[in-house]
Amino acid sequence: MNDFLFELPLPEDFSLTACLEYMNRSPLECLFRTDESGVTRMFKLEDGPVLIRLSVSAGNRLSVTRLHGTAPGVLEHEWLARYITEWFDLDRDLTPFYRLAEADPLLQPLVSQHRGLRIIGIPDLFEALCWAILGQQVNLAFAYRLKQRLTEVYGDSLEWGDQTYYRFPGPEVFTKVQIEDLCALQLTRSKAQTILTVASLIASGELSREELLALPSPEAAEQRLLQIRGIGPWTSQYVRMRCLRDSSSYPVGDVGLQNVIKFLTGMDRKPTSAELLVLARPWHGWEAYATFYLWRALY
């Protein structure tokens, strides 16, 4: 069953191929499956799970097709369209970023090679926070392994063909989960506690993406996140970038960013936070996109 649902217009500077290359960076990714021409992901709608595939149509539009599961209604069509738009940052004009990147010696080769790559967002706040928490002070492969374990144990799943598709668990799932349960998946106690704290705040309505976006500035949203024990500057900056769609977010504490700047500039040490801030002055307002493209040089 291939049930065409709708199409979304694509901005001029968009390459699904470049986005898929980024999304395919780890074989441990458990929340979607990519191939040469598209990506397939499970969503949970009011009447049940649905398996959605995205690909580019002959008319250079993003085609959204239902492969399996419940048929979405009108409002769910709107929700899916909004989610996909935010997932691929489709409504952002990258012309100013590409203009400044073309004049930047570090960014120019990267934007030339990967033009059309968009920041792949994480529209769900709980998922974004969990991914950032899991990634604290560990390598990327282990962070993916932790996400895979958390998703397989607590998330929803759907069987189709010879594959199992997963959806990241919602915060309400963790209301009766104990720290020891998460530690059994190899999370540290501090990470387990932070995830349970965040789950409780979101499930109770004390914290929401809508609340953060309604604050006067991204910096105010960051300060709100920093009030949560276990959420530090790197985590909050990461959430600003991937979930709150803040193009000025700049995670200077990110080891990957430090390593790629060291490599590209030929430094004999990692740059300091102060040096990274100076380096980013020409990127004002587009620090998140500069970071995302610099990360691309790591794989």
Tell me the longest C-alpha to C-alpha distance in the chain: 57
Task: Give per-residue burial for 55-77: e unless 16+ CB within 10 Å, then b.
Answer: ebeeeeebbbbbbbbbebeeebe
* Cβ atoms of 222 and 236 closer than 8 Å: yes
Q: What whole-number distance in Å separates Cα of residue 100 and Cα of residue 2?
A: 42
Q: What whole-number distance in Å separates Cα of residue 27 and Cα of residue 139?
A: 15
H/E segment holding residue 288:
helix 287-295
H/E segment holding residue 260:
helix 255-265
- Beta strands at 61-69 and 156-160: parallel, antiparallel or unpaired: unpaired
Tokens of 281: 């002055």
At 54, is the secondary structure helix, strand, or coil?
Answer: strand
The residues that are catalytic are 254
* Cβ atoms of 6 and 81 closer than 8 Å: yes
